[in-house]
Structure formats: C-alpha cells, structure tokens
Structure 1
Amino acid sequence: MRSNQIGTSVAPAVYTVKEVCTLLGLQKSTAYLAISRGEIPSVRFGTSIRVPRAAVERMLEVPQQKSA
C-alpha cells in the first residue's frame, strides 16, 4: 500500500497486478489469466493494467449468512 506525504497509510483507488497478487494470495500468472477472463475487473492505461480497489474489496468480502 502506498503512503501519503505525512506517512499515514492510504488505500489507493487502483492496485497494480503485483499488489492484487499480494492481497489475494495469487501467483502472477493466475492473476493475469483471471484478468483476461474477466474474473478480476481491470482497466488499462496504455500498457499498464490496474484493478479498482472496489473490485478487490468485493472479492475479499465474506458473504453474510441470513439468520433464520
């Protein structure tokens, strides 16, 4: 995660593929394959691929079970 000028941690709006691999515990080849299949949403800036933070957060959410 990046930090701002005063040294506090700030979550970026987008992550690099390397950061996504770290966050999700994936191999780089697995992440690129999932991106190419559309399983991990991404945006391209020239040759760079970025993954929106919101998409990563959705992947990390644990579904809540309904109480009966």
Structure 2
Amino acid sequence: MGEDQGGPSARVRYLTVVEVADLMRVSRMTVYRLVHAGELPAVRVGRSFRVPQDALDAYLRSSATVEPEAFGEERRSS
C-alpha cells in the first residue's frame, strides 16, 4: 500500500500548540481555547496537546470567510 492509500507508510503529522499558533499567527492561548472548546481536535500527550496537521488544515478551510481565488480576483479589479 502506498502513502496516498493510507497504508503503513502514511503517517499523521502532529503539531505542538506553539507550531499551530505560529502557523495561524495567533497566541498559544487562542489555540488552547480552540482545543478546549472542541473547535480544533487535539490529542493529549501527558500534560500537553498535539494537533494533527489534517485537523488544522480542515479547521482553516472551514473557517475561511473568503475563497483565496475570489479574494485575488476582487483585489485586481479594484
């Protein structure tokens, strides 16, 4: 099985709260609030959290208010 089929070589990438905060350009507290509110799925590892990369990507897609393509087109026509 290949990586694109979800076989043994497919790995989930987990991000720390600090990494998620850096990627989203928000504070660590904002990430913790999202996790505790159940808006951003996370796995507890000891006393810390890890966020699956796929979960972060899905959260960002679902939170988008403007499609990137539409935003670019609107800006050019102004």
Same fold, judged at TM 0.5 (above):
yes
Higher helix share: 2
Matches within 5 A, 1:1-68: 13-61=13-61
Largest Rg, 1 or 2: 2
Unpaired stretches in structure 1, ≥5 consecutive residues: 1-11
Could you tell me how far apart the structure 2 residues matched to 1:60 and 1:32 are? Answer: 16
Structure with more relative contact order (C-alpha pairs < 8 Å, separation 6 or more):
1
**How does the TM-score come out when normalised to structure 2?**
0.59
RMSD between aligned alpha carbons?
A: 1.9
- Name segments (4+ residues, structure 1) moved above 2 Å: 59-64
Unpaired stretches in structure 2, ≥5 consecutive residues: 1-11, 68-78
Aligned length in residues: 53
**How does the TM-score come out when normalised to structure 1?**
0.66
What percentage of aligned pairs have identical amino acids? 36
